[in-house]
Chains A and B, each alone.
Chain A
Amino acid sequence: MTEKQLDLLLKGVQKPGRYTGGEYNQVVKDKEKVDVRFAFCFPDTYEIGMSHLGIKILYSLLNNIEGVWCERAFAPLPDMEENMKKAGIGVWGLESLDELKCFDVIGFTLQYEMCYTTMLHMLKISNIPLLAKDRKGLENLVVVGGPCTCNLEPVSDFVDLAFLGDGEDSMREFILLYKEFKKKGATKQEFLLQASKINGVYIPSFYDVSYNDDGTVKEVKPNCDAPKRPQKAIVQDLDNMFFPKTFVVPYISTVFDRATAEVFRGCIRGCRFCQAGMMTRPVREKSPSVVSNQAKSLCDSTGYDELSLCSLSTSDYTKIEELLNDLLDWTEQEKVNISLPSMRIDAFSPELLEKVSKVRKSGLTFAPEAGSQRMRNVINKNLDEKVILDSCKIAFEGGHTAVKLYFMLGLPTETMEDIEAIGDLGQKIVDLFYEMPNKPKGKGVQVSISLATFVPKPHTPFQWFGQNELELVRAKQQHLVEHLTTKKIRVSWHESKTSLLEAVLARGDRKLNKVMLKLAEEDCCFDAWDEYLDFEKWQKAFLECGLDMQFYANRQRDFDEVLPWDHLDYGISKEFLIREMKKAQKAEVTQNCREKCAGCGANKMLERGTDCAQCKVNL
């Protein structure tokens, strides 16, 4: 596509900056001189995709390889898609304005299940055959990465190859192999066979799935010389891991428009509902000086004046004080603000807040996740009420008057009393505010309670748990609202239908490919957005395929059932997950990894070996 064609397409389109490319720091190469062209697609809007750290790391990593040109592509909104349809133009890479079908490899990052339909829609409107078996050549290879590949069975028919775990090493190996095989004119099959040997690569078509009469999985086994259990890849040494020296700087404002420095991967906490915390083990930290230098390079080269430290739980970084001192050495002078998302409530000390001097006094957000202590023990969120109240007190004394609390509803063993406890906790925070002798004058307090419906995820101790039915979820939401007696507490929740579909897809099997294909034919797209989700289309598709949402979402599994993702090795043992689930049912807590090793098995992935005696016993 030429720039002139782009001008015509953009007529009357909202926020054209989403589609133009040309941002500062984008990488442009001579397409006649590159060997492999890679389209890095984020199956959502530009604003969301450009906020994602992973795409920035891998974009830069791929473009640093000679002969490889990686571009970015995002999903067009309906107004743009309309114009594209009229002009007969599909999704394009922002750097070259060439359409996806011109690319050797089309990569999607799957960050959440509800983006599956958007991925398929992007392929569809780009005139690329949806099913992997219909793409015969080596070109237009569709590859996926991101957390959802831990069970991508519902979209396995559409995908040629998936990356499990950290992508830095496996993608580099993959792209070099592709370059070599393209040069020697290999077939797709020849390439895939060789690629299946790369650590962290999973090729769905190399595995056959058989089912029991009740619809559960009987067996998954390779149909060729592919590894029996593909294992996720991990980066061994974060200090020497590739990290971009700069980011593409968007023109339009995106959700997170700032420099981001990663401080560590993995999480010591072991919250039983948390997929990220389980899947990214073992914990690997970066040194403070490395983080600080990388952050400075980013700020200098992008012009960002905000720096965000990124990890699953930044306050668990062992050298947080040292890092903040390193950062403050240059950020103060360069007028860069530091923001610390993902802080645990119990780490919220006045000293830490003071270090992060420019935190603006807007709202504060905490995630107790559950209202009663019993429930918090079930999910292993090791946090007691006193800590929550103390943190709120510090916040109020610091001048804050609004607190936002995140809770989950529909957790295993939950009763109506646990639901009431959510409201009670809110009430205690309100009371706390009014009991303060030095409370801010003339201001009321506002406690916002945000309820998410719990979605059980693969590779977590709750992977066997049947999600609460929609009616029960609604009854619980209603019960909480009725239990409240003050207007100082506001309750909000997400669309529960989305949580149901998420639960279906998260633990789905290959039978769902039929459903996904139907949804693609129906032009479903942006289903992660309430305003675009058409639930009736989903219901219809399930009905037509003779499949039942409840089977996937609400059914309680037995420990001995073969789960659709059991053949994917994420380093944590099934025994550990079962142990944790049993402890959850008894409301017993497990200490964090630094206090006592729980023997999950992830340490065995470390090349330097594990020094943890407990691990050795448990393995």
Chain B
Amino acid sequence: MRNVRLIYKKGGRAKYISHLDMNRLMLRVIKRAGLPVWFTEGFNPHAFIAFALPLSLGFISEYDICDFKIEDDNFSNQDVKEALEKSLPEGIEVVDIIEPQMKVKELCFAQFELLIECDEKAKNDLKEFLNQDEIIVEKMTKKKKFKTFDVKPKIKKFDFEEIENGLKVSLLLPCGSEDNVNPMLIFDEAKKKIEFDVVLVKRGKLYDKNMQLFH
């Protein structure tokens, strides 16, 4: 038995599949593919799979992670890849099948890219907004209370690119169990003052604390 890490892309209409639904989807994909995946041995045996990082509904991603265990050692990574490719639905693609080198809890940063539609004035306002020394945002806690905090120090890097009718904003944000920032937290705050539309959010590559590509 060995550990296998599936790296996949999610886009198109598949972006409307929620995290919870992804779990069920992947179990079915594995069954369709006939992969000899390890099953839990409890009262209700089921294929054991684990997603590294949930993706918000509506986001697309180019580097999503799903881990599982393969029981049959004769099944190579290439075999796994081929079997999965035949069974994945529209919008989900295998990027790579690897042997995991890092632990999920080593995950630290995620790259985001947002496509924004707005007019010239809003472009400048947005740039100014992100360049502030302090960006106070509101977040709902698990106890359904609002807390406010400064998100600016958590934005590790950000950059703008002018595009037709808007901006492409890239951000490097903390992710994982220690600290996690959803980019919409920042842009929902900006929306209170500036008029713009977030057309697409893409989560790119994932990194550990030393900015090594998560793998």
Interface of A with B (CB < 8 Å)? Answer: 3, 6-7, 10, 16-17, 20-24, 249, 251-253, 299-305, 334-335, 360
Contacts and interface: CB of A to CB of B under 8 A. Distances in A.
Contacts of A6: 13
A249 B39 CA distance: 22
A558 B33 CA distance: 61
Nearest to A305: B31
Contacts of A335: 39, 45
B56 interface: no
B28 A17 contact: no
A251 B29 CA distance: 12
Given A251-B14, A305-B27, 17 more contacts: A6-B13, A10-B16, A16-B16, A17-B18, A17-B21, A24-B90, A251-B17, A251-B89, A252-B18, A300-B32, A303-B27, A303-B29, A303-B30, A303-B32, A305-B31, A335-B39, A360-B44
Q: Of residues B12, B13, B27, B44, which shows the largest number of chain A Cβ atoms within 10 Å of its Cβ? A: B13
Contacts, number: 61
A16 B57 contact: yes
Contacts of A252: 18, 21
Interface residues of B, number: 26
Interface in B29-83: 29-32, 39, 44-46, 57-58
B211 interface: no
B28 A303 contact: yes
Contacts of A20: 13, 16
The prevalent SS among residues of A at the interface is loop
24 contacts: A3-B12, A6-B13, A10-B58, A16-B58, A17-B16, A17-B18, A17-B21, A22-B14, A22-B91, A24-B89, A249-B28, A251-B14, A253-B24, A299-B31, A300-B32, A301-B32, A302-B28, A303-B27, A303-B30, A303-B31, A305-B28, A305-B31, A335-B39, A335-B45
Contacts of B13: 3, 6, 20-22
Contacts of B25: 251
Contacts of A24: 28, 87, 89-90
A81 to B, nearest CB: 18
Nearest to A4: B199
Across the A-B interface, the 9 shortest Cβ-Cβ residue pairs: A303-B28, A22-B13, A303-B31, A24-B89, A303-B32, A16-B16, A20-B13, A251-B17, A22-B90
Nearest to A10: B16
Nearest to B91: A22
A227 to B, nearest CB: 45
A24 B87 CA distance: 8
B27 A22 contact: no
Given A3-B13, A24-B89, A302 B21 contact: no
A22 B28 contact: no
B42 to A, nearest CB: 13
A253 B89 contact: no
A305 B29 CA distance: 11
B28 A304 contact: yes
Nearest to B26: A303
Contacts of A22: 12-14, 89-91
